[in-house]
Amino acid sequence: MNLPELVAGYVRVSTVEQAEEGYSIQEQSEKIKSYCKAMGWELASIQSDPGYSGATLDRPGINKVIKDVRAGYVKKVIVWKLDRLSRSQKDVLVLLEDVFLENGCNFVSIMESFDTATPFGRCMVGILAAFAQMERENIKLRTMMGKQAGLKEGRYFSGRAPIGYQYQMQQNGKLALIVDPYTSKAVRDMFRLYASGKSESAVAGYVQEKYRLFPGLDRHSAVGRISRIMRNPVYMGKVRMKEECYEGRHDPLVDSDLWQAVNDRLSQNLQAFKRSYGESDGLLCGLLFCGDCGARMAIRSWKKKSGEKVKKYMCYSVSRATPAMIRSENCSNRKKHLTLAELDALVLEEIKKLALDPAALDPLIEESAEEAAPDLPVFQERMANVEKQLTRLLNLYQSGVMELEEIQGRLAALKEEREAVQKRLDEAEKANTGKLSKEAAIASLASLGAVIESGDNAALYDLVHTLIEKVVYLNGDITIYWAFC
């Protein structure tokens, strides 16, 4: 007795497509069911991924299909249209060659009218996947071009409004920055107090106490947040694109003279901080992190039995010198401590290798790109679409077209989606901040020989901190994260 070949259907819609009702889950499912009935195929299941982008395979529905194919449960996978499977040419071809055909499973796309059971069908999949990939790249390019044009027009682009401002939807459907009455006072106080001579720590303590800002952050982390806030030109009415600033459309919170005075003082204090560490020969101070608990590592010194003084980098959780910096009570990064000179020399040797062979930058840049958060423009576009849908639903409710009960479920889903996208935006913005271009990295590396020959420890410190984002140390092993993009 021959058992029928079971078929697995797969459907997907992104959030935007759901709103526009162009490729609904129900419509795709009905088309797949009708097609299987007409072909006499037994449809075992339909896996769905509502609200998921086709840019990656990080989707529960497609992962269930892959699992069933590899287990031999289904011998045919069917979709309504190829780009429902994926918009990535690489992912489509991997699924086709390494998952479906590798496990004796054919793939069918209804709209494109092909079946991988035939050589022509397998050829068409590759061709159409290439077009899907091209469209995705075009979307990214259009988004980036739109952002660049908007910045030159003075519009601010970010998934989250900077502290002191909030977003307001304009009649043209675009978001604009308006001054937030409460947090703007905190920002103005930051600039005023720091310009008057207060330390960053004192400013942090003041705004945390008075305005209850940065809940959950310790003083050290709050200082870092405030420093970034005061360096942002948005507060003097500018918007920034790389190194260029343009006049913004929003109201400034401080005048340009105060902003410049504060930033001059920040720069002077940073240089003094670097010089003090450079003079102590600690090249990695501020860059070094524990590979176990994630705490920072700082210089500690003690005497050997011979009376010789030794300096070593040690995790704060191990040294316990500063209670506020302890991250773990059971940090294991205590088995092998290289001396300060040994660890600095190891990192400096890696920089020398790059200086001698600039071509070695390419694989490091590629590796950095693979590990970085997804492209910022993609998530900015997605966030704008989510905000647009939220506004549309609220307008329908306010105009009386729909009752609150009718939109509550959709509102909750969109808010959850917005939180998820915001998290990815924050990751992407962090990954795209402060990175060196390949040309800038090569120029910095070219100066290494002259800096070492000069014996200027402060200049060497600056160079190391320009080239390296952070160094992770764990019991004798080091991992360098380069500041290249």
Contact 425, 159 (CB under 8 A): yes
- C-alpha to C-alpha distance for 67 and 60, rounded to whole angstroms: 10
The Cβ of residue 439 has, within 10 Å, a number of other Cβ atoms equal to 8
Say which residues have a Cβ less than 8 Å from residue 427's Cβ, sequence separation at least 6: 373, 374
Contact 205, 218 (CB under 8 A): no
Q: Which residue among the candidates 14, 53, 88, 319 is catalytic per the annotation?
A: 14
- C-alpha to C-alpha distance for 480 and 478, rounded to whole angstroms: 7
Residue 94's DSSP bridge partners are none
* Helix spans in 372-433 (H): 376-398, 404-431
Q: Which helix (H) or strand (E) holds 121?
A: helix 119-152
Contact 343, 313 (CB under 8 A): yes
Say which residues have a Cβ less than 8 Å from residue 16's Cβ, sequence separation at least 6: 382, 385, 389
Say which residues have a Cβ less than 8 Å from residue 242's Cβ, sequence separation at least 6: none
14 among known catalytic residues: yes
The residues annotated as belonging to the active site are 14
